[in-house]
Structure 1
C-alpha cells in the first residue's frame, strides 16, 4: 500500500519550529528583565523596535509550526491506542499552547508598535512588558499538559523509546516549577530571569527535536501484533 509521509512532515515542522524560534531570539537580542528600570525597558523597545517586531513575526511562524508538530504527535498516539484519552489531551494541549503563544506574541508586537509610534506611551511600557513576562511564566503550566499526556501515551504504546516518556515528565515538572516563580519579585528566580527562561526552553527544544527526528525517520514500532500500523496506511 502507498505509505503516508504525514508524520515525516510533522517532524520537519517540529525541527523548523525550533530553528525559527532560535533565529527569532537572536534577532530580538538580550531583552531586559522585568526587575530592571522602566527606562531600561522602554529604551530597549524604542531602540530595537524593528528587531522586536521582526522577532515577533518569527515567533508567530514558529508557533504555527509547533502546532503542526503537535497535531502529528497526537495522531501517532491516537493510531497506536485509540481507546486512550491521552492523544486527545496531547492535541488539546498543543492547541492551547498555540493560542496562548499567538495571543502573547500579537499583544507584545502590538504594544511595541503602539508605544514606539506614540512616544509618550513609552513612560508606561514597563507595565505591559512585565505583565506579558509573567503571563509567559504561568504558561508553563499549560506546557506541562501535552508533555505529561505525551509521557502517559508513550508509556502505554511504546511508540517512542521509554526514556522519551521520562524526559517529557522532566520537561513538565520543570515548566510547572518555573511558573511558580511569579511569587518572586526579584533575583535569579524572578519571572523571565535567565535561569527561568533558558532551562525550560532548552529542555522543551531538545525533547521536540528528539521526537521530530523519530517522526522524520517514520520507523515507529507497531504496538501489538495485528494492530493498525502507526506509520503509513
Structure 2
C-alpha cells in the first residue's frame, strides 16, 4: 500500500471509528445516574442485556479501526523533527486506550449476561463503576498521546496546526476528567455524566479533525521512511 493510500484509509478508519463508537453509545437508553439504587442498575442490565452485548461488540469493532487510524497518523508524525519518539508515544497511547476499552466492554458484556444471578451491588460495581473508572483513568493515557501528537504537529505543520490545539484541549479535558474518581455525588462524579461525556467529546473532536486532515497531508511528509 502506498503512503497516500495509507493516509486516506487511515482517515477513513478514523471517521468510521467515530461513527461506530457514536452508534454504540446511542444503542442503549441513558443508564441510571448516581442517585439510582443498585436494584435499578441491575434491572437496567437485565432489561437491556441484548443491547449491552451489541454495544460491547460495536466498541470492539471500533477498537480495530482506531488502531488502523493510529498506524496511519504515526506514519505522518514520523516526518517531524522529533516524530520518531513522539509519534510512537501517540501510537502506543492510542492503542493502549483501545485495548483497555476492549477489556472494559468484555467485562460489561459478562456482567450483562450474569446480571440476573449476581447481586445488585455486584452488577453495579462490575458492570458500571469499573467501566467508568477505567474510562476516567484512561484520561492520563489519552493526554500523553495527545501531547505527543501536538508536539509533532504544532511546530512542524505536518497536519493543520489547529488539530494540534484540539489535541491540547483534549489532553486538558481528559486529565481534568480523571479527578472524577474523587467525587462521589453530583454531575462531576463517575456516574454523573460530565466527567465521561466531556473528555470523550473533546477526544472525538480531535480525532475528527485529524481524520479529515489525513486526506490532505502534504506530499513531502509521505516520502519519509518508517
TM-score by length of 2: 0.90
Distance 1:169 1:192 in 2: 25
Does structure 1 residue 186 correspond to structure 2 residue 185?
yes
Contact 2:83 2:152 in 1 (8 A): no
- The aligned counterpart of 1:220 is 217
- Bigger mean CA deviation after superposition, 29-38 or 66-75: 29-38
Instruction: Name the SS of the counterpart of 2:168 in structure 1.
Output: helix
**1:84 and 1:171 mapped to 2: Cα distance?**
22
Distance 2:108 2:66 in 1: 19
What CA deviation, in whole Å up to 9, does each residue of 1:144-176 have, x standing for no partner? Answer: 111111011112321122222121111001000
Q: Does 1:63 align with 2:97?
A: no
Instruction: Count how many residue pairs are aligned between Structure 1 and Structure 2.
Output: 222
Q: TM-score, normalised by structure 1?
A: 0.88
Structure 1 distance, partners of 2:172, 2:93, is: 15
Matched, 1:209 2:208: yes
Contact 1:134 1:192 in 2 (8 A): no
Question: C-alpha separation between the residues in 2 aligned to 1:71 and 1:230?
Answer: 15
Unaligned runs of 5+ in 2: none
Return 5+ residue gaps in structure 1 as ranges. 223-228
Q: CA deviation at 1:203?
A: 1.6
In 1: Cα distance, 2:129 partner to 2:83 partner: 43
Q: Say if 2:187 and 2:193, in contact at 8 Å, map to a contact too.
A: yes
Give me the CA root mean square deviation.
1.9
CA contact (8 A) 2:80 2:153 kept: no
- What is the rounded CA distance, in whole Å, between the counterparts of 2:98 and 2:83 in structure 1? 26
Q: Is residue 2:165 matched to residue 1:166?
A: yes
> Matches of 1:75 and 1:85 in 2, distance apart?
12
Structure 1's 78 and 3: CA in aligned 2 closer, same or farther, altered over 3 A?
A: closer
Q: In the alignment, is residue 152 of structure 1 matched against residue 151 of structure 2?
A: yes
Verify the 8 A CA contact 1:77 1:157 in the aligned structure 2. Answer: no
CA contact (8 A) 2:28 2:51 kept: yes
Q: Distance in 2 between matches of 1:83 and 1:174?
A: 24
Deviation at 1:113, TM superposition (A): 1.4
Query: Is the 8 Å Cα contact of residues 14 and 66 (structure 1) preserved in structure 2?
Result: yes
1:16 Cα deviation after fit = 0.3
Residue 112 of structure 1 corresponds to 112
Distance in 2 between the 1:191 and 1:5 partners? 41
